[in-house]
Structure 1
């Protein structure tokens, strides 16, 4: 039996996304984490200290969602919250030593799942897919008023004459 949306790009995207999240969820469970928590740890590993608002923006979630996840991660001693000197209303979050270890382990898992997902894709296909997904996300972000930061990447510019080279370098985060 075929789903009526089987020829839809959106349907394929949703199915791929669900399967990717499920696969990551299975791997994250081995680190005692749930899907979504890894994104907070990765953002903090990349950016360092962040306010709750900055974290919510980079994750494209509402501040209460970010706050709830940070509370859970703080209870696990993976992140710390500190008020800003001179303005206790501003709370900054940072990784603990244990949080940094988890973030490094997450990067490895992320790359494993990425390789599984993209098996059989050459470097040009990978780059084109990343570029097209960012372009589609940017289109929807404009319509919804979402922050457009992160949708454009100069390395994603691709034309038919590009010679891409090897598929990926070890340890690279392909989905950046």
Structure 2
């Protein structure tokens, strides 16, 4: 391919975001395969490690997927003996999911993997750049979530101590988010 040829979307923020996201997902997927997992499964394990046992509906909500999608992933993780499903005593319609001991070990490995890929992604970024990028991406996601009717939780401005460390422009951005 001729190195002088450029993609028509090269100056588009959306195009850059798609490329970075695609490469991040590919790198993460390669690392996950070393753990015997597929992309998407790590999110279930991370959510359960963070919040503890939860209903399938709560899990789907946290992951921003439809319940059948969450259920399919949980079934696969259950077959790998990483999660267990139990019906709620008194109401068999409510199913709770929790990590097994092996699931907890995988979740810890995923955290290490995630930190490694994030370090690779943000190599050369100082802390100010990292915080600013995170805030800008949250704001962009919140903008689209509002337009699509998606759940807007999770896109909040970070804790006040993060805002205090930012410059004036970042403080103004945080105030408008």
User: TM-score under structure 2 normalisation?
Assistant: 0.88
Tell me whether 1:157 sits opposite 2:163 in the alignment: yes
Aligned equivalents of 1:153 and 1:38: distance in 2? 25
Higher helix fraction (1 or 2): 2
Consecutive unaligned residues of structure 2, counting only runs of 5 or more, are: 170-177
Q: Which residue of 1 aligns with 2:150?
A: 146
What runs of 5+ residues in structure 1 fail to find an aligned partner?
A: 163-176
Corresponding position of 2:57: 53
Larger Rg: 2
**Aligned residue number for residue 17 of structure 1:** 21
| Alpha-carbon shift at residue 145 of structure 1 (Å) | 1.3
The superposition leaves residues 126-171 of structure 1 with CA deviations (integer Å, 9 ceiling, x where unpaired) of 0000000000001111111111111103335364259xxxxxxxxx
**What does residue 7 of structure 2 align with?**
3
* 2: CA distance, partners of 1:161 / 1:140: 25
Q: Normalising by structure 1, what TM-score? A: 0.89
Q: Is contact 1:83–1:89 with CA below 8 Å preserved after alignment?
A: yes
Alignment match, 1:89: 93
SS in 1 for 2:92: strand
Matches within 5 A, 1:1-176: 1-155=5-159, 157=163, 159-161=166-168
Number of paired residues?
162
